[in-house]
Amino acid sequence: MFVVSKLVWVFGQPLSLAFFLVFFALVAGLLRWRMLSVLSATGSALILFVTLYTTTGNLLMQDLEQRFAKPADPDSLQCMIVLGGAFENEVNTARHGIEFNAGADRFVEALRLAQKFPQSRILISGGDGSLSGIYEGDAAAAERFFPLFGVGKDRLIEERRSRTTFENAVNTKEFLASQGLVHCLLITSGFHMPRSVGIFRKLEIDVVPWPTDYRTDGEVKLGFDFTQPNLNAQNMATAIREWYGLIGYYLAGRTSELYPR
């Protein structure tokens, strides 16, 4: 399942689909299948235009982010679960540093809460999600990160085996049971929260959704946008990938419903 999900994304992301359609158009042209060549080229151009020059990806991202609202800070906090996906694991493995990617807010928010609630425990769930399996995961990098800001290692619970969101939840359930922790905050990116909550609900793990790392302002409308094609493409890819996950996990029976709210 893990390898299949990686391959689906390699070949199924928008820019890959556009490339394959161009390739099919060239092959069809060489074989003088004119209609197939035209349709393939048109499909590729359409995918590229929608991905690069419209707000479609941002709109999809915004809808994912708005499924769960972040509550006000609680009066007390026993524990929080931080899902991995925020560190540049290849770079950190080679350089032994603390380099973040766009999901850094997951750990910034966890640090804020850890400092506000000094008795709380922090469960970091994240191993190496690459196909090679040769890199350190978020849990390993977090062990270096939190102590730099006064959060002792004794407060950390490190789950280093998980490679996917489903494994995050399965392995986290074991750690929570062994530590006697319940009703923890679940900290992850807003766009990732629907799938994460669906899995945790399916496994009957009681969590409070705590979204962070927002990529949209909440006011996106469908239309053209020629000002930021790179960002449009990035948000489209992230949103499509999340929907692949939502559909795949639902069909596999790993989530409580197709689109949790």
pLDDT digits 0-9 by tens, 122-145: 999 988 877 777 888 999 999 999
Overall average pLDDT of the 19-24 stretch = 96
Look up the CATH number of the domain holding residue 161: 3.40.50.620
Residue 175 to residue 67: CA distance in whole angstroms: 27
DSSP 100: B
- Angle made by CA atoms 171, 4, 92, in degrees to the nearest 5: 60
Average pLDDT for the chain? 94
**235 and 127 assigned to the same domain:** no
Sorted by sequence, the CB contacts under 8 Å of residue 250 that are 6+ apart come out as 198, 257, 258
pLDDT score, position 97: 87
**59 and 92 assigned to the same domain:** no
| Residue 2: pLDDT over 80 | no
DSSP 131: S
Nearest to 94, CA basis, from 29, 141, 26: 141
**245 and 203 assigned to the same domain:** no
- The domain in which residue 247 lies consists of 2-65+229-251
Domain assignment present for residue 41? The answer is yes
**88 and 203 assigned to the same domain:** yes
Query: Quick one: 223 exposed, middle or buried, by C-beta within 10 A (0-12, 13-18, 19+)?
Result: exposed
Domain assignment present for residue 91? The answer is yes
Q: For the chain, what percent of residues have pLDDT higher than 90?
A: 85
Overall average pLDDT of the 215-230 stretch = 96
Residue 184 to residue 206: CA distance in whole angstroms: 7
Q: What token pair was written down for 202? A: 């399916």
